[in-house]
Amino acid sequence: MPTDAPTWLRDILTELARAQEQTGALLARHDERLDRLTAAQTETATQLAQLVGVVQQMNTRLRGVENRLGDLAGQVWEGDARELAPRWFCDFSAGVRPLSDAERNSLLDRAVNAGTLTRPEAAIRRADLICDATDPDSGAPLRVLAEVSARVDVHDVDRAAERAALLARLGTPALAAVIGRRLDPDADQQAAALGVRTVIDPDA
């Protein structure tokens, strides 16, 4: 600043310099706070990503547990169905007796050897239930093939109908049935269309 500058000008320039210093200090503090905020946001985003990963792992494990529990429940349900089949099928058959694994294997192996069924078709042995029974009106022999599922869907209905049709080729009329605790509406319609008997017992 010129030494001969008026006092009022020197005062103004001094205040201006002081204001610039204060502004610089404020900007420096602002930048520091902004840096801290950015670092905190980055850390939060990292922690959030880690949390999402943990939740996804937990969901995967829970799905695995649910699947295993579902499989176990299905096995128990199928075992109960074998014992309860005579009661469940009493509306459309009599003298119901579930075939043992040995009996169904023998029956289907003979059909394959006789050329009545191909070996792939004999995979109907995987049906959840195959029962010997009689027609309650005529007393004529018949068989009942049933698919068992806690929740019966269209796939269960279609599979029961297809397998019962193959079973009937052995010479004894065969009825298709599905057994479950719940029946999907579209499965109910499909069963009516294909003549598949439905047995729904929510309390079993």
Domain of 111 in residue numbering reads as: 85-200
Is there a domain that residue 175 lies in?
A: yes
Is there a domain that residue 145 lies in?
A: yes
Residue 107 to residue 99: CA distance in whole angstroms: 10
Q: How many domains does the chain have?
A: 1
Provide the angle, in degrees to the nearest 10, between the axes of the packed helices 185-194 and 154-168.
Answer: 20
Going residue by residue through the chain (204 aa), what tens digit of pLDDT does each one get? 566 667 777 777 777 777 787 777 777 777 778 778 888 788 888 888 888 888 888 877 877 665 565 455 555 566 677 788 888 898 899 999 999 999 999 999 999 999 999 999 999 999 999 999 999 999 999 999 999 988 899 999 999 999 999 999 999 999 999 999 899 999 999 999 999 999 988 665
Instruction: Assign residue 100 the CATH number of its domain.
Output: 3.40.1350
